[in-house]
């Protein structure tokens, strides 16, 4: 008969895992992603035995992946979005896509960890980040499938529009944060500028849907 782990052991395990994920984030903030090459370094930063990285996560890459999952917008809400899609309990694909893209912009604008993740993904040839990217793509595919019926037979390629919107969100935020100033004469650091971006996302999605409804 398999015995259960004592409660204090479970609590210690959970605390240790949190410490290790936290250590990954702190090292990234201080030294950047390129410094995440040593399990011993992460363990020392967390103040735990390096063997626990293998025991609790399977290895350093899996630990980094756990950190990414906790901070990546798309992966963070994967379960919630999947449940929503399965339930069909949303007003419509246009409203759903608009809301998700607007929330992505707001989240990305305010979350430094997510900004670092995207920069790392764009500047590093990392199998781990390619795997994370593929997971995002899988999630995005499920969302885009909700739009297929509306755009079927039309000249509107909504996947291309979605790609430009997501890419534009990333670039606009990163450019403004790291280079300062305005972007297309918009002060994205101001509430007014941010509201204009959110409105533009809604307008672009709306235009695409309206265009698809026009007779050939």
* Number of domains the chain is built from: 2
Enter the tokens of residue 23. Answer: 């250590």
Predicted confidence (pLDDT) per residue in 67-85, tens digit = 887 877 777 777 777 776 6
Establish if 49 belongs to a structural domain: yes
* Of the residues 70, 97, 118, the one at which a domain ends: 70
The whole-angstrom separation of Cα 7 and Cα 13 is 10
The whole-angstrom separation of Cα 95 and Cα 30 is 39
Predicted confidence (pLDDT) per residue in 119-130, tens digit = 888 887 777 778
Asked if 167 and 149 sit in the same domain, the reply is yes
pLDDT at 195: 95
Closest CA to 143 of 86, 63, 85, 192: 85
Pair 129, 120: CB distance under 8 Å: yes
* Domain housing 147: 72-213
pLDDT at 5: 46
Pair 67, 114: CB distance under 8 Å: no
* Of the residues 48, 70, 92, the one at which a domain ends: 70
Specify the pTM.
Answer: 0.77
Q: What is the CATH number of the domain that holds 52?
A: 1.10.10
Q: What is the CATH number of the domain that holds 112?
A: 1.10.357
3-state helix, strand, coil in the chain (%, to 5): 75, 0, 20
Asked if 26 and 87 sit in the same domain, the reply is no
Q: 149-158 burial by CB neighbour count: b if 16+ within 10 A, else e? A: ebbeeeebeb
Establish if 61 belongs to a structural domain: yes
Asked if 47 and 89 sit in the same domain, the reply is no
């Amino acid at each position: 008969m398999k015995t259960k782990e004592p409660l204090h052991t479970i609590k210690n395990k959970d605390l240790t895992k949190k410490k290790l994920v936290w250590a990954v984030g702190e090292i990234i903030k201080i030294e950047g992603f390129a410094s995440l090459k040593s399990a011993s370094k992460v363990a020392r930063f967390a103040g735990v035995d390096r063997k626990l990285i293998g025991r609790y996560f399977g290895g350093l890459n899996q630990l980094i992946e756990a950190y990414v999952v906790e901070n990546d917008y798309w992966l963070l809400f994967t379960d919630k979005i999947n449940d929503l899609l399965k339930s069909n309990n949303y007003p419509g694909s246009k409203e759903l896509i608009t809301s998700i893209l607007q929330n992505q912009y707001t989240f990305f604008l305010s979350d430094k960890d997510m900004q670092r993740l995207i920069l790392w993904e764009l500047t590093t040839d990392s199998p781990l980040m390619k795997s994370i990217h593929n997971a995002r793509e899988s999630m995005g595919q499920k969302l885009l499938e909700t739009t297929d019926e509306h755009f079927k037979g039309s000249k509107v390629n909504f996947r291309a529009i979605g790609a430009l919107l997501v890419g534009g969100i990333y670039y606009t935020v990163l450019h403004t944060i790291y280079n300062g100033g305005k972007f297309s004469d918009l002060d994205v650091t101001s509430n007014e500028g941010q509201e204009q971006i959110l409105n533009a996302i809604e307008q672009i999605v709306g235009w695409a849907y309206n265009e698809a409804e026009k007779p050939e």
